């Protein structure tokens, strides 16, 4: 097929779909939404689909689909989701996030904290810029398939700026 395209004089770049970019300004920095397709579903709500990347300052959220409300600064993802900030990252099946409150809920989640802890929970709630509540999960610092140590928890609070559990 590439030979046929070369004969026709059509390069791969010409076939690539342009990505849609929306920038929403705020005093503390813009929220930028980039995706394959976007629509405005209400006056303040956007829906982005296909390889969605949402950034706000040092936070990046990627997902298959994202709804975002520019008034409340809250959003929800569907499909495989990744949240990253600094050395912290979480992957999950879907999420709800609030840039204004720096909070979120990550369902069927696993990830890595600043203090090199691997965590898993169903769900993991981000309750502030450096605090999480993990439910029905575990935590370890070991990256082996069978960790040398781990903590199982029905509910635990984690402060990622230090090495504490509550």
Domains of the chain: 18-165 (2.60.450.10)
Pairing mode of beta strands 118-121, 131-140: antiparallel
Please give the model's pTM, rounded to 2 decimal places: 0.83
Yes or no: say if 75 and 66 are a contact pair by the CB < 8 Å rule.
yes
pLDDT along the chain (166 residues), means of 10: 43 62 97 98 98 98 99 98 93 97 96 82 92 90 72 86 56
Residue 83 forms beta bridges with which residues?
Answer: 61, 90
- What is the predicted pLDDT for the residue at 12? 42
- What is the predicted pLDDT for the residue at 117? 82
- What is the predicted pLDDT for the residue at 166? 52
Express each pLDDT in 60-104 by its tens digit: 999 999 999 999 999 999 999 999 998 889 999 999 999 999 999
E strands, the chain, in order: 20-24, 31-35, 37-40, 45-56, 59-69, 74-85, 88-98, 103-107, 109-112, 118-121, 124-128, 131-140, 151-159, 164-165
């Amino acid at each position: 097929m590439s030979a046929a395209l070369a004969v026709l004089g059509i390069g791969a770049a010409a076939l690539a779909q342009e990505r849609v970019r929306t920038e929403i300004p705020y005093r503390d920095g813009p929220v930028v939404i980039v995706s394959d397709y976007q629509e405005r579903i209400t006056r303040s709500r956007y829906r982005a689909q296909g390889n969605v990347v949402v950034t706000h300052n040092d936070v990046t959220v990627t997902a298959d689909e994202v709804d975002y409300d520019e008034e409340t600064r809250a959003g929800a993802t569907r499909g495989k989701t990744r949240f990253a900030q600094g050395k912290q990252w979480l992957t999950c099946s879907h999420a709800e996030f609030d840039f204004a409150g720096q909070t979120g809920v990550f369902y069927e989640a696993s990830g890595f904290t600043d203090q090199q802890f691997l965590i898993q929970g169903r769900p993991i709630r981000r309750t502030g810029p450096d605090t999480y509540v993990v439910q029905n999960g575990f935590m370890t610092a070991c990256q082996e398939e069978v960790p040398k140590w781990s903590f199982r928890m029905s509910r635990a609070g984690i402060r990622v700026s230090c090495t504490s559990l509550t």
